[in-house]
Structure 1
């Protein structure tokens, strides 16, 4: 899905959210900012954190927005939450992957201020984006909870969509060796399952059980694969150390 494939409602929706947040910039300037964001979301190195993911998060916000105090700010935060992304190896996958929340928050603050959004609202959007570093919102901050829940909602999809999600995430980190990626993924899954609850907002509670089922099943599959790799390595090491016919040890 490229910029030209973006749903027709996306640009008008962004403009509406900017206006609802107090933006005063001319329509053409708002449109240019939206197009810049779409260009970021449609770069070829993005296989999961792409325009489809943005649309999915916005759709999930729509499902939860009756709980939000300022849904327009939550939607703007969704637009910016992965605007800065780099899946290069220097961005360790186990350390939040390629999403750069700090840089994305700074971009939100800069661009929204340029669009005439009052400083307090621009700062609030930036704070919501920054909160996704931990995905552990204060349950009393319902806007933050809605954004975090919308971003994690992919965990609760039906098994086939979850499988496609895993394929896309792996594609983004194809430069990582298989075992490195799997061990990083295991650490992430253990952290998720250790949480008392994956979702915080009341309307997202039905997502809890399917999400835990998906994550647990994935963890079991990966642990089996890692056990297989460990056994394979042990067998190769044993073969390499076995004495040869002359009585010496093979290097």
Structure 2
């Protein structure tokens, strides 16, 4: 049983990086990475990337320094190495494994017996919902991103309550995008209330219900200095020429106030970097990026925004995607476009650019100081780039 680390030799993001591995189990590796304060998002299928600034700290906590080749050999011999050619096939399997493990962990946090068949069945149903065939962006990858973002915020000193995690699991459990009638957020909240009744207290269920509804466009608070939307796109202008029904569905992922995604799923239910040496995942920060957590006294905006930490953490995690690495952001933007494939390109570009510009007009994209410190700069760069591409499509080719 050993945690191994090779010398910092892989260049990326203006520094050199090491690979942290276990020759015994991923569980051992995750536990050690947690001691270092690394978020789970830093895990890259078989290793964590460790910046040169964190190398000595990893060694001081017990990581054994070895040569780069030995890291590869020990991973291979233990059966834990993921080869480059296997990454595409392994990634979705690991995602599903992570979600199943997180659902079981959430049961422990909530005091629900993990042997309760109803809890297990509920988790399976939720995962099935997140994998409905009509989804493009609002799928289990989005759920994973939200949970990983909450985990990341927790490593920066935020307290992520169990009800926040549970609300994350349910927040897009119903996703149809249908205009009029009950919103997807309302349907998702009602689903939570209906399915959790035999497992949790009425007070906790009510809390989760309210958190899910907080992701509804009209219910998101807008502070005096923020004329644009806080969570969704209710303030974006309508494109009348498109003759598209207005729908306020999770606008951080769509230019949604004037666009309705075409879906064919059920309305309320369901039947049911690479391997070593490539670009590190966002999140393998050095101490220089950690920074002391900004307090409400330090930031007047924080005093006005952090009214309900559970809600603000959920909303920040829900738009983590804005701060993803460029490749992931491009995949996200393409997935959003696919959800509106029935909308003409010109109309989509106008509406999408308008909502993104409304976000940039806000003093902060994120509400919590931790999220701002981690993600604000990259998010603004990503959103600005997409706006430019939408406004000038020929230049993006």
* TM class by smaller structure: 0.7 to 0.9
Q: Which residue of 2 aligns with 1:187?
A: 354
Which structure: greater strand fraction? Answer: 2
Match of 2:205 among 97, 102, 122: 122
Is 1:34 the counterpart of 2:123? The answer is yes
| Shift in Å, 1:125 | 1.1
Offset of residue 22 of structure 1: 4.5
Show structure 2 runs of 5+ residues with no match. Answer: 1-88, 221-229, 232-304
Tell me which residue corresponds to 1:218.
386
Q: Match for 1:208 among 368, 376, 395?
A: 376
Q: What is the aligned partner in structure 1 of residue 24 from structure 2?
A: none
- Given that residues 24 and 117 in structure 1 are in contact (C-alpha distance below 8 angstroms), is that contact kept between their aligned partners in structure 2? no
Per-residue deviation, residues 199-236 of structure 1 (Å, max 9, x unmatched): 1112111211111111112112212249xxxxxxxxxx
Give the Å deviation of 1:68. 4.7
1:113 aligned residue (184, 197, 205):
197
* Contact 2:193–2:209 (Cα < 8 Å) also in 1: yes
Which of these residues, 318, 332, 352, is aligned with residue 165 of structure 1?
Answer: 332
- TM-score, structure 2 as length reference: 0.50
After the TM superposition, which residues 1-251 of structure 1 pair with which residues of structure 2 at under 5 Å, given as runs? 5=93, 7-23=96-112, 27-65=116-154, 67-69=157-159, 71-87=161-177, 90-91=178-179, 100-114=184-198, 116-134=199-217, 136=230, 138-206=305-373, 207-225=375-393
- What's the CA shift for 1:24? 6.3
Gaps of 5+ in 1: 93-98, 227-251
SS of structure 2 residue aligned to 1:83 = coil
**Aligned CA distance change for structure 1 residues 9 and 216 (closer, same or farther; 3 Å):** closer
TM-score, normalised with respect to structure 1: 0.77
- Deviation for aligned residue 1:44: 1.3
CA RMSD of aligned residues (A): 2.5
After superposition, the C-alpha distances for 1:68-116 in whole angstroms (9 at most, x for unaligned) are 54521111111011111114xx449xxxxxx8211111111221223x2
